[in-house]
Structure 1
Amino acid sequence: MKAAVFAAGYGRRLYPLTSSRPKHLLPLAGTPLLLRVLEALRSAGVQELGVTVGYMADRVADLISRFGATPIFQRQIAGTGQALKESKPFLMGEDRFFVVYGDVTVTAGQLIKLYRYVEENDLDGALIAVKRRGEGLYGVVRTKDGLLASIAEKSSEPGPVNSGIYILPRDILDIVEGLEKSPRGEYELTDGVNTLASKGFRIGVIVDEGSWWFDIGRPADYYAANLYYIMRDLGGRLHLDRMVEMGDDVMFRGPVIVGRGARIGGGCVLEGPLVVGEESVIGSRVHISRSVLMEQVSISSGCRIRDSVISERTVVGEGVEVSGDDPPCLVTGPGAKVPSYLKITKPTII
């Protein structure tokens, strides 16, 4: 069985995190999000992987080619229906195939469960729905007699929401050819899946509590997903990569990942869940907790930072204090400069 993974989008709602890289390459607990999706599919037994690429296509294509996946260069970035339409040459000849949105989290166990559910119940296809409130952000899944009735896109009605993880029959490839644009101006795969259901195709629905599922659409989603997967991957352990340098009296609490070549000054307290990216430099007497530091971040001495997402090459001046009750408290773009002795107590983007 093949899989198509959608990774062509711009990630505008994640700005400024996506100003210098596609959202699908943002690190999640130290590993690019898209690579986690591909690893889950491969671990579930899917050997042929096709990935749509668009925004910063060369960077995404380079990563997936090294993984052995096939880049599908998307000519028009216009929604998930368009992504599947342009994946048609890759998927031709398959009776059924996986479709996974490249900006959601998934595990091999969930993919295996979905495959077995289709096989054991002789279904045409299936999807995973997770227990979330729609709140106008997701497609709400409606069922009848255990099968899909419809998906209400961006609905605020109660009910489990579409995870963006499917097994679909080949008939969907012809259906998406005839899709019309939605009110959002995009071709929606969910319209095609609704057509399958209305035509009598048996599309099953697995409803899962979904603690493992995150839709990485906004900085708050990215922050929450990192904390969850740091804890899931490490438990309470510390992971130090190669060539990490540390001063005296450095203290680690809880799950912490420190990337290759990072330098940590004396007297620091690093409290997890926390990632310190490759080649980052942390000055002396710094206290950082529940945060994501990407590559080559510089934190000057005497800072106290919590609940933040700090992009690559950000420079934080001395004595900066970040705290608050509505995380992430601080989000920086690539190469941002945070002035010395700044005190941040409410959500701030720099």
Structure 2
Amino acid sequence: MKAVILAAGEGRRLRPLTESMSKGMLPVGNRPILSYGIEALKEVGVRDIVMVVGYRREKIQNYFGDGRQFGVNIEYVVQRSRLGTAHALMQAREKVDGPFLLLPGDNLFTSQGLKRLLELPEGSWGMLITESRMPSKYGVVEVEGGVLKGIREKPKISGDLRETGMPSVFSLALWEYTGSTDVLLINTGIYLLNPEIFEILERQGVEERHRLPEAIDYMVKEGYRIECIYTENWRDAVYPWDLLDLNEIVLRESGEGLEGEVGPGVSIKGRVLSQGKVEVGAYSTIEGPVVLGPGVKIMPYSYVGPYTTVGEGSTIGPYARIERSLIMNDVHIGGRSTVFCSVIASGTDIGEGVYTDATEVTIKVKDISLSKRIGAIVGEDCRIGHHTVISSGAIVGNRCSVAPLKHLTENLPDGASVR
């Protein structure tokens, strides 16, 4: 049995975080999202993987190589034009000669659902489904007696929302929240397929930007029986703030063990895991679950709270307070700064006394509203001046520069300068 992983997509709705890497390479728990899917495949005994890559593919290939380091065998095929998931799958046609699993490279899931798909009788077609209160983000599946009866795929994006980078990301999110908020069954994008799928896609014409769910729905209409397997263990990151939820899920299962120098008076509560040697300054508090990358420095009297990941080579300044945040590699957070419910991308310097507000944000358009408790989303290689306040939900693009003592209430595009 082989698996095909679709990892060619760009993830525009996750900008600014996906400018330099694909969605599957975004870190949660200090590991790429993609690595958790590979781990799940290995757990069910599927070690031969065909990975379809495209956008920023060099980062994926450099990280995973031939897969031996991860206990699997990886072959790569390139989708040079991103024409949808059906087209991406077609790129793997020559590498597949029997039944195979198909997985997205940017979802978080466990091996239990994969195991149940593999337990289906030989020659079966299968789909992993789950529940969601936001079905318009994914498309609703209609199931009868455990068999797929149809897919109502998510609607196409209207012209005014087609630009999905900043600052329209909130508008796009609202558009996706406008559907039913009932709990409905959705398609996870994880399938058990047979090689015949390639002939079906060929008949449909994959050059027309077909999405794979459209092909699956076509198969149902043609009389194919597709078994639906339910799973609770599946999550997706659609917007930057969703990474905080994925990070929390991963940290709930994280191990513990601190390696490095720990100063006097340090308080360690709950599960704290260091992935290499770290330095924890005197009288600091770390309250798990927390994951610290190699070379992390936590200066004296600081606080790192639950559901926080700090990436390799990052520094938390003295008296700083960090909680439920995802701090990527080589970030510096200045002394007496407060970072709540935020995502800070690699190479960013947060000055002393910076405050990220994290109250519940409610955005309303007519009678539709989106509420979320989030702090700041800050892109790569930014410089945020001391004692700046960043309002809840503000998205700061890559390579932005903000002078001291500012109050950021609106999103900043890449390369913006606030003086």
2:63 corresponds to 1:17: no
Q: Deviations over 1:215-269 (max 9, x none)?
A: 1221122221111111132484100232211210111112011110111110011
Q: Secondary structure of the equivalent of 1:126?
A: strand
Return 190-199 or 172-181, whichever deviates more: 172-181
d(CA) in 2 for partners of 1:318 and 1:27? 25
Separation in structure 1 between the aligned mates of residue 33 and residue 101 of structure 2, nearest angstrom: 18
**Which of 79, 103, 107 in structure 2 is aligned with 1:104?**
107
Report the Cα offset of residue 337 of structure 1: 1.7
Partners of 2:359 and 2:133 in 1: CA distance: 25
1:244 aligns with 2:249: no
In the alignment, is the contact (CA less than 8 A) between 1:103 and 1:217 conserved in 2?
no
2:251 aligned with 1:230, yes or no? Answer: yes
Q: How does 1:181-330 map to 2 (within 5 A)?
A: 186-208=209-231, 210=232, 212-234=233-255, 236-322=270-356, 323-325=358-360, 326-330=372-376
Letter in 1 for 2:194: P
**Counterparts of 1:41 and 1:141, CA distance in 2:** 24
One-letter amino acid matched to 2:212: L
Within the candidate set 325, 331, 334, 2:380 is matched to: 334
Q: Provide the aligned C-alpha RMSD in A.
A: 1.8
Please name the residue that 1:82 is paired with.
87
Q: Deviation at 1:126? A: 0.9
SS in 1 for 2:150: strand
Equivalent position amino acid for 2:223 in 1: G
Q: Is the 8 A contact 1:123 1:203 kept in 2?
A: no
Counterpart in the other structure of 1:139: 139
CA contact (8 A) 2:244 2:324 kept: no
Aligned residues: 341
Runs of 4 or more above 3 Å deviation:
155-158
SS for the counterpart of 1:223 is: helix
Match of 2:51 in 1: 51
SS in 2 for 1:241: strand
Deviations, residues 272-323 of structure 1 (Å, cap 9, x unaligned): 1110100001110011000000000000000111100000011101111123
Structure 2, unmatched stretches of 5+, are 68-72, 156-178, 257-269, 361-371, 397-419
Q: Secondary structure at the match of 1:224?
A: helix
SS of the equivalent of 1:49 reads strand
Q: Which amino acid aligns with 1:194?
A: D
The whole-number CA distance in structure 2 between the counterparts of 1:102 and 1:111 is: 14
2:389 is the alignment partner of 1:343? yes
The SS at the match of 2:151 is: strand
Pairs within 5 Å for 1:105-120: 105-116=108-119, 118-119=120-121
1:75 Cα deviation (Å)? 2.4
Q: Which runs of 5+ in 1 are unaligned?
A: none
Residue 66 of structure 1, CA deviation: 3.9
What is the alpha-carbon distance in structure 2 between the residues aligned to residue 207 and residue 89 of structure 1? 30
What secondary structure sits across from 1:191 in the alignment?
helix
What TM-score do the two structures reach when normalised by structure 2?
0.78
Contact persistence 1:240–1:258 (CA under 8 A): yes
Quickly say closer, same or farther: Cα 1:139–1:260, change in 2 above 3 A: same
Q: Give the Cα separation in 2 of the matches to 1:28 and 1:279.
A: 16
Distance 2:11 2:373 in 1: 20
Asked whether the equivalents of residues 290 and 307 of structure 2 are also in contact (C-alpha less than 8 Å), the reply is: yes
SS of 2:191's partner is strand
Contact 2:254 2:273 in 1 (8 A): no
Q: Percent identity?
A: 30
Q: 1:239 to 1:214 in 2, by over 3 A?
A: same
Distance in 2 (CA, whole Å) between partners of 1:287 and 1:152 is 45
Contact kept? 1:293, 1:310, Cα under 8 Å: yes
Question: Structure 1: how far apart are the matches of 2:288 and 2:66?
Answer: 33
Shift of 1:330: 0.4
Cα shift at 1:170: 1.8
Deviations 1:125-183 (A, max 9, x none): 1111111034421121112332111111116455201011110122111111133479x
Q: Distance in 2 between matches of 1:123 and 1:181?
A: 24
